[in-house]
C-alpha cells in the first residue's frame, strides 16, 4: 500500500480574476506504516494540498495515486462535531460498524470513556479534539490525515495527546500524513519530515528520521529540531534530502 504524490502546480483565480500560485512543486511517496509530516508557514498551501490528496480538489497539474478503495480518516483543524449528537454518536456516525471492543479500547486510550454520553457543548477543546481523533481512528483508515490536531492546546495537554496519537499509530499499519506548525510535534511523531516554502509551496527539504518514535532520546530530538529550524530559517534554493 503506497501513496504517490506529484503536484506540479496549483493555481486559482480570485473574484477580480487575478491568478494566484498556491503550489509550485510538491512530490513525495509514503508507504503503509510511515508517518510523513509537512511543516510550513501559515498560508503556504498546506490545506489546499490536503484537499487535493483526498480528491476534493481535482483542479491541479500533476498526479496523486492513492491505494484503491482505501478508507480515509481525517482530523480537521477544528473538531467539527455535530452538537446535537453525543460523543459516542458522533463517532458511530462515521463508523457505524465499529467493533464494540475496539471502540472501547480507543475511548480508553483517548480518555473518553467517562464522556461517551456527553454532548460537544459540554466538552473542553482538548476533549473535543480527542473525539475527533476517535472518529478518525474508528473507521480503521488505510490513509490517515491529521491537520493541526493539537492546535490551540496548552503545552502539557498537547504533549499528553501527542503520546496518545503515537500509541494509536504504532498499533496500526496505515499511511499517515500530519500537517503541523509545531516542530516538536513533527520530530516526535514523524518518520519523514517535509519542509515547505512560503506560498507557492514547494518542498525545500525531506528529512528522514531513522530512530523509531519510542526510542528517540531527548538529545536526538533536540538535534533534529535544531537541524529543522536551521533549514526553516535558512535559504535553501534546492530541495535537499538527508
pLDDT tens, residue by residue, 62-80: 999 987 888 999 998 889 9
CB 110 within 8 A of CB 134: yes
Nearest to 3 by CA among 70, 66, 58, 74: 66
- For residue 224, pLDDT over 90 is answered with yes
Domains of the chain as residue ranges with CATH: 2-60+173-241 (3.40.50.300)
Instruction: Assign 240 a pLDDT band (cuts: 50, 70, 90).
Output: low
Q: Using alpha carbons only, what angle is made at residue 201 by residues 4 and 51, rounded to the nearest 5 degrees? A: 55
Report the predicted TM-score, pTM, of the whole model to 2 decimal places: 0.89
DSSP state of 67: P
pLDDT for 194-217, tens place per residue? 999 988 999 999 999 999 998 999
CB 32 within 8 A of CB 172: no
Amino acid at each position: 500500500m503506497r501513496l504517490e504524490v506529484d503536484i506540479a502546480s496549483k493555481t486559482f483565480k480570485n473574484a477580480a480574476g487575478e491568478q494566484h500560485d498556491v503550489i509550485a512543486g510538491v512530490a513525495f511517496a509514503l508507504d503503509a506504516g510511515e508517518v510523513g509530516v509537512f511543516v510550513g508557514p501559515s498560508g503556504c498551501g498546506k490545506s489546499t494540498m490536503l484537499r487535493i490528496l483526498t480528491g476534493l480538489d481535482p483542479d491541479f497539474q500533476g498526479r496523486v495515486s492513492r491505494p484503491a478503495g482505501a478508507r480515509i480518516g481525517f482530523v480537521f483543524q477544528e473538531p467539527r462535531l455535530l452538537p446535537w449528537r453525543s460523543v459516542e454518536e458522533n463517532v458511530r456516525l462515521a463508523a457505524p460498524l465499529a467493533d464494540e471492543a475496539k471502540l472501547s479500547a480507543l475511548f480508553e486510550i483517548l480518555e473518553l470513556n467517562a464522556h461517551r454520553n456527553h454532548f460537544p457543548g459540554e466538552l473542553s477543546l482538548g476533549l473535543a479534539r480527542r473525539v475527533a481523533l476517535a472518529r478518525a481512528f474508528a473507521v480503521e483508515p488505510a490513509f490517515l490525515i491529521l491537520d493541526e490536531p493539537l492546535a490551540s492546546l496548552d503545552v502539557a495537554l498537547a504533549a499528553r495527546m501527542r503520546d496518545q496519537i503515537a500509541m494509536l499509530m504504532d498499533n496500526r499499519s496505515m499511511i499517515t500524513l500530519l500537517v503541523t506548525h509545531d516542530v516538536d510535534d513533527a520530530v516526535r511523531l514523524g518518520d519523514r519530515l517535509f519542509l515547505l516554502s512560503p506560498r507557492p509551496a514547494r518542498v525545500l527539504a525531506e528529512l528522514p528520521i531513522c530512530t523509531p518514535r519510542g526510542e528517540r532520546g531527548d538529545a536526538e530530538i533536540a538535534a533534529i529540531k535544531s537541524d529543522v529550524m536551521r533549514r526553516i530559517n535558512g535559504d535553501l534554493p534546492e530541495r535537499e534530502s538527508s
